Chain A
Amino acid sequence: MSLTEPIKMSHPSASHGEPLICIGQMGGLVGSILLEHGKMPVRGVALDNDFSYYQALHSSMFKFSCDADGSIQPFVPDGHEDAMESINLQELFKQEGTSAWVLVLVGLGGVFSDQIIPQVVSSIQAQGSMVVVVASLPFDMEGEAKTKQAEKTLDTLLQSADAVIAIPNQALLKEHASPVKMKTAFELSRTALAQAVDGVWEMLRADGLTNIEMSHLKDLFQGHHVKGLFASGQAAGFNRAKCAVESLLGHPQMEDGAALALADACLLQITGDESLTFKEVDRIERALSRLLPAGISPVVGTSVCGTREGWLSIRLVSAHFSQAKENLLHVSPGEPDATPDSFKVTIQKKTPLPQEAIIEEEAAKGDAPLLGGNVEDHDSGPINPLEPPLGTRSSQRGSKRYFQTLLNLGAKKKGRFASCDPTYYHSINLDEPTFQRKGVLFN
């Protein structure tokens, strides 16, 4: 069987659509997840120097092995050498015409990935396509060498690619209080990367009522930015617009919305079913605009997708131009001294507002979770690693304050309704007190 055959067959959607270039093991595995999902009609192309994980890759994916000298040739599994036909990467692109843009998916930090990325980017650009790179940055525990390698590659990419959206893996662990297993951490990383690619693809490809185009992405990201963040949120049912915004802000990269306070530009794609209303779009746009710095408003795209009835999803890409801000984003709460002096966070105890006073009082008693969140005296005692990035909240986002809500680990009392079926309305348990669900605070 010729290796070029899968281009024409194998996966029903493989013969059309933009190529998704997956570089390295991380890229290949995430690309396989996306192809398995079948939502994106893309031509998956895997590039690596070692395909020991060959069996884990999606069958429709074109596999190219790359040598240390940079030459790229189709990967032939053992026992299939006779079937080999020579084809190079550029020929693959030529086969079905040029795409307007190509998504490149990669985990930064690996030596191979960093060698091959600039070559791939230039190859794609030589065909007249624009390149959007979605990359994951290594975990802290992977070592300083990998981090530096990743930063170096990122710098190169920022100069060459049309848009780069970076997912810092370490940020994904912030939501987890308990030690995370290695396997779980990498699963999280792969999921986040897959979501980002899916989201960007959806953003650019969705037949929207109001479209976000490649030019929007390029304008935001080309040349002068430092990094782009991607987050998504979705909700269904009663008050889904508000719930979707909350879900978006709950994305690990969003840091409860604090990351938006540092954004210099923002793209917003809202996708709903047939019932999507102007009011919902307006509500989402206004809610997120409030979190953005003054003078910055998001570019909003909307599309109607009938596949998930009742659901509304938001995808957001934000750009951060300033290196200084970027550094601040990555302040490690446990190690404030590691940041440059100019970005050190001064933690001051401010005079509490009446509502906050109640929360403080209840937090002191240790039973505050239901009515808001925890506010701690940061003057004394260790900094809670579960706290949001310090200094990025009230001081930089204007008057609106967000608190990290504690998990309620105690069993909820059902009271009078313990002996009957719960009342659900669009996945909301109406037996729970409304004021608790809405987070209404009392005087």
Chain B
Amino acid sequence: MWTSKQDSLVTALEIGTSKVVVIVAEVNESEAINIIGFGQSRSRGVIKGQIVDTKLAYDDIRQAIKDAEEKADRELHQVYLGVTGQHVTSSNYTGSHAIASLDRCITGEDLEDVMANARRFNLSQGQHMIHVIRQQFMVDGRATMHSPVGLPGSDLAVVLHAVQGYKDRLQRPVQLLRKMKLEAENLAFNGLASALAVLNPTQKADGTLVIDLGGGTTEYAVCSRGVVCHSGVIAVGGDHVTQDIATGLNYTFSRAEDLKIKFGSAMVTESVRGQVRDILNETGLTDHRVNIENLRRIMSERLKETFAIVGAELDRCDMVDMVQSVVLCGGGAYTPDICTLAEKVLELPVQVGAGVNLHGPSSIIERPEYATALGLLKFGVFDFARRRESHTDRVPWSQRLKNLLRIEQ
């Protein structure tokens, strides 16, 4: 139960490569999310999802927070922070445990033991665990998604999906927030957050690949049988497309970005073969001529490669058969013909995703570029509920002290 107005407030902060987004939402007792505030600013100190200029990043985050506070008419103290970057990696781990009881029935203790065994993986020095997601249990080799407590068996195993990143990289945004008197309530990987935002329960169960085409990174996550079973990030995004155009057509980065938005497409169609457009300068005179076919070919090559890498990664992890469809989100999902290209490369049906099971302005919920921030909101609600439950189950401090001192009631 939410105890106060401040308790029922969940704030998501995404420090992206192209923008900083803050979304404030109220959560009611039935855990329904209602967006009440929104702030956004251009991101200038972030490249490939990593803060490279703390001063600029600080200003941009401050601006977005301030906007959101004004819109929500609340003072923000805690945020759920999205993290990404090529230092974020994921892997699956398996732990097993032999059932020792005489009746060979699995108990809650067996579950705790097998989870503890699975968690005994070695992180590299300097790495920090961001998420550990339970995939499935195996009882004598048979997979089960549900709790196996009470089932007979001799061998219990569990598969975990873990997402980890390097502490020093993860701490950068947290330190910036501290300077603003803000606390990072918890961290969440952007790829998982996007999947939370755009997938409905059917898609999560059927096996869906979510690809978040961001400005500096491309995150992906595979949801199957209701859980995230694979995720990853490639430090390639919309900026790479723009940089390719700038290099190939010899324009500045900002001019290339304009051209990408105005004339860009993921496919080179027959209609643009040899097409040339005049680019006007501020005075209205023709400044440059741009070959649209070349522009789109450059874009197409980059995007095709990005999808191919995602496909290759899924192939490497034997995930291809689990995926039935693809959902695109992030700013890159606006690229014309992006679904056609993704379908061609991944050979799966593709659609652009939007936030599901959320209440608030459609200008936020229905836009794919806010999928990560919306997912962070959902993650925040789950995380808060989980912690509240564990808090309820927890033995009170007074009782703990008594136990410690062996004081009988």
Contact = CB atoms under 8 A, between A and B. Distances in A.
Contacts of A423: 48, 86, 234-236
Given A416-B239, A423-B236, A434 B244 contact: yes
B302 to A, nearest CB: 5
Contacts of B236: 423, 430
B36 interface: no
A431 B302 CA distance: 10
B291 A417 contact: no
Contacts of A421: 48, 50, 86, 235
Given A420-B48, A442-B291, A415 B243 contact: yes
A403 interface: no
A240 B23 CA distance: 44
Given A433-B302, A435-B301, A416 B47 contact: yes
B301 A438 contact: yes
A417 B235 CA distance: 11
Contacts of A417: 47-48, 239, 243
B246 interface: yes
The A contact surface, by secondary structure, is loop
B42 to A, nearest CB: 15
Contacts of A238: 308-309, 312
Contact of A433 (B47, B52, B244): B244
B156 to A, nearest CB: 29
A238 B316 CA distance: 11
A274 B253 CA distance: 43
Given A238-B312, A415-B243, A433 B248 contact: yes
Interface in B280-302: 291, 293-294, 297-298, 301-302
Contact of B297 (A416, A419, A425, A442): A442
B247 A415 contact: yes
A188 interface: no
Interface in A54-94: none
Nearest to B244: A433
B294 A430 contact: no
A238 B50 CA distance: 25
B206 interface: no
A14 B370 CA distance: 66
Given A430-B235, A435-B248, A443-B291, A416 B301 contact: no
A431 B294 contact: no
A436 interface: yes
A121 to B, nearest CB: 49
B302 A415 contact: no
Contacts of B248: 433, 435-436, 442
**Contact residues on A (Cβ < 8 Å of other chain), bracket:** 20 to 34
**Contact residues on B (Cβ < 8 Å of other chain), bracket:** 20 to 34
Interface in A378-437: 413, 415-417, 419-421, 423, 425, 430-431, 433-436
A440 interface: yes
Nearest to A238: B312
A443 B293 contact: yes
Contacts of B312: 238
B309 A416 contact: no
A169 B27 CA distance: 77
Contacts of B86: 421, 423
B126 interface: no
A442 B316 CA distance: 33
Nearest to B301: A434
A413 B248 CA distance: 12
Given A415-B243, A423-B48, A443 B294 contact: yes
B396 interface: no
Interface in B212-264: 234-236, 239-240, 242-244, 246-248, 253
Nearest to A419: B52
A415 B52 contact: no
A436 B247 contact: yes
B112 interface: no
Contacts of A436: 247-248
23 contacts: A238-B309, A238-B312, A413-B247, A416-B239, A417-B48, A417-B239, A420-B50, A420-B52, A423-B86, A430-B234, A430-B235, A433-B243, A433-B244, A433-B248, A433-B302, A434-B302, A434-B304, A435-B297, A435-B302, A436-B248, A440-B298, A442-B291, A443-B294
Interface of B: 47-48, 50, 52, 86, 234-236, 239-240, 242-244, 246-248, 253, 274, 291, 293-294, 297-298, 301-302, 304-305, 308-309, 312, 316
